[in-house]
Each structure stands twice: as structure tokens, then as C-alpha cells.
């Protein structure tokens, strides 16, 4: 057995910070990542420009086809799509950049648990994605004359916050694989479009094949967009909001487990460095 394999997941001489400092570590990482990602031109394009393109296509098709779904339905779906794209590319890009700069190893070896570091990164990128929500609502109102009257503003704000947290925690699950594998950008490209397609962000779930529904129900964007649409258009947002919170808890538990195992495998394989 090699020396790397004999080292436990947390290291022989690693002293973890007290649990009372964990929220401060996550909050610091969230704020730093938020400032970094807000200055990224590529990420702003992903969160701002791309959702406007898809929202324009969907709303123009709705007007041309005289469909029954309101324009706000598509604007909200495009906003959630922007948050999801931001999480996928922001998380993968941040870890790739840190690997390229040689700072990923210090992050793994730091006393702070790696799961808290990744959680700050993913929550920060998900928060940047709120750009897309505001942009698509304004775009639908200004260009397509969509009615943006929110039926329940309090539930809408709560659903938006729950959706951002859920997508951030889903990014935590994905971020564990991004640490272990070097081709994180390819993984991001592969999972972006299938997820927002099967979760019904722009295409109603009723129009998709039945085998996609179980996959949609375990993904947070499905419940997040349902809660937002119910709060905005009138309906009961609390049941999808509850399922969004349940999914968030499941992602958190799964993320903690995966990050611990990924950190152990990265140490055994010495796969953090490019060389």
C-alpha cells in the first residue's frame, strides 16, 4: 500500500475548524465567489444573454401559435434555465481555473472542510444566476408586453430563494466530480441542456415522454419553476416549494458523502494537479 493510500481522507495532521465557524466559512466563500463571478464576461453572457435568446424564441412561438400558456410562463422558465447554466458552467469553470492556477491543492489541504469550500462556490454562482430571472422578466415585459403581475409576491420571493439554494446544493453534488476529473468543462456541456429540457423549464412536462418524468421529479429545477409559476400566475406554490426543500436536503446529504469520497480518491490518485 502506497503512502497516499495510507493517508485518511482528512489527512494525518489536519485540524478541522469548530462547527460554529462553518456558516462563516461558507458565507465568506459565497461572497468571494459572488464578486469573482459577477466580473466574468462569459458567466454574465451565460446568465444574461443566453436566457434572453431562448425566452425570445419561446415567447415568439407562443404569440405566433396563439398558445394558451401565458408569456410569464416562459419568462420564468428561461430565468431558471439561466440560473442552472450559471451553476453548471460557474462551478466547473471555477474549479478548472483554480486547478490551472495551482490553488486547488491548497483548497483541499486547508483546515476548512472541502464541502464548505465547494458549497460557497456553488451558492455564489447560483446567486449570480438571479441576473437571468430579472432580465427575462424585464425582457418579456418590455419587448413582448407580457403581464408580470405576481399573484403572491411573498411566496414568489421565498420560492426564488429556495430555488437558488436548491440549485446551489445540486451544484455541490456535481462539483464533487469536477474536483476528481480534469475535463469538468466537457461534463458541464454534456449535462446543461438535458436537465433544463426534462425539467419542463420551456417545454411542459406533459409534452415529454413518460420515462422522463421520474428523472424530472428528482431534480430541483422542476419543483423550483413550478413553485415560481404557481406563485406568479396563481395557484398553490407550497407543495412544490416543500418538495424543493426536500430535494435540497437530499442534495446536501449526498454532496457531503460524495465530497468526502472524492477527496479520498483525489489523494490516492494524486489527480488534483495538471501534471
**pLDDT tens by residue, 241-273:** 999 999 999 988 988 888 788 777 767 766 666
Q: E strands within the chain?
A: none
Tens digits of residue pLDDT in 114-142: 788 888 888 888 888 788 888 888 888 88
Non-local CB neighbours of 233 within 8 Å, separated by 6+ positions: 70, 72, 73, 151
Query: Taking a C-beta distance cutoff of 8 angstroms, is the pair 133, 81 a contact?
Result: no
Q: Would you say residue 19 has pLDDT above 50?
A: yes
* Range in 15-24, 83-92, 159-168 with the lowest mean pLDDT: 15-24
Q: What local confidence, expressed as pLDDT, does residue 1 receive? A: 46
Query: Taking a C-beta distance cutoff of 8 angstroms, is the pair 81, 51 a contact?
Result: yes
Query: Taking a C-beta distance cutoff of 8 angstroms, is the pair 137, 147 a contact?
Result: no
Structural domain spans, the chain? 26-269
From first CA to last CA, the distance across the chain in angstroms is 23
Q: What local confidence, expressed as pLDDT, does residue 8 receive? A: 46
Q: What local confidence, expressed as pLDDT, does residue 231 receive? A: 92
Tens digits of residue pLDDT in 56-102: 888 887 777 666 778 888 888 888 888 888 887 777 666 666 767 77
Q: How far is CA 115 from the centre of its chain?
A: 15
HSE-CB of 264 using CA atoms within 13 angstroms = 10
Alpha-carbon distance of 244 to 159, in angstroms, equals 9
Q: What local confidence, expressed as pLDDT, does residue 246 receive? A: 92
Amino acid at each position: 500500500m502506497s503512502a497516499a493510500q495510507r493517508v485518511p481522507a482528512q489527512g494525518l495532521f489536519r485540524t478541522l475548524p469548530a462547527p460554529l465557524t462553518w456558516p462563516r466559512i461558507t458565507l465568506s466563500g459565497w461572497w468571494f465567489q459572488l464578486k469573482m463571478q459577477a466580473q466574468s464576461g462569459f458567466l454574465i453572457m451565460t446568465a444574461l444573454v443566453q436566457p434572453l435568446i431562448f425566452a425570445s424564441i419561446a415567447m415568439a412561438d407562443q404569440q405566433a401559435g396563439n398558445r394558451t400558456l401565458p408569456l410569464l410562463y416562459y419568462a420564468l422558465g428561461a430565468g431558471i434555465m439561466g440560473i442552472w447554466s450559471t451553476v453548471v458552467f460557474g462551478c466547473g469553470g471555477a474549479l478548472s481555473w483554480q486547478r490551472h492556477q495551482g490553488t486547488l491543492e491548497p483548497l483541499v489541504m486547508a483546515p476548512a472542510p472541502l464541502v464548505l469550500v465547494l458549497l460557497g462556490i456553488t451558492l455564489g454562482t447560483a446567486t449570480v444566476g438571479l441576473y437571468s430571472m430579472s432580465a427575462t422578466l424585464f425582457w418579456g415585459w418590455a419587448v413582448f408586453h407580457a403581464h408580470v403581475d405576481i399573484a403572491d409576491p411573498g411566496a414568489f420571493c421565498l420560492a426564488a430563494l429556495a430555488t437558488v439554494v436548491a440549485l446551489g446544493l445540486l451544484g455541490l453534488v456535481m462539483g464533487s466530480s469536477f474536483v476528481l476529473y480534469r475535463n469538468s468543462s466537457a461534463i458541464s456541456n454534456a449535462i446543461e441542456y438535458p436537465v433544463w429540457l426534462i425539467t419542463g423549464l420551456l417545454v411542459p412536462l406533459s409534452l415529454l415522454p413518460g420515462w422522463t418524468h421520474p428523472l424530472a421529479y428528482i431534480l430541483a429545477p422542476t419543483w423550483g419553476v413550478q413553485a415560481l409559476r404557481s406563485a406568479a400566475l396563481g395557484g398553490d406554490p407550497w407543495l412544490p416549494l416543500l418538495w424543493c426543500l426536500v430535494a435540497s436536503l437530499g442534495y446536501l446529504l449526498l454532496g457531503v458523502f460524495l465530497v468526502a469520497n472524492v477527496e479520498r480518491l483525489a489523494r490516492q490518485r494524486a489527480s488534483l494537479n495538471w501534471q
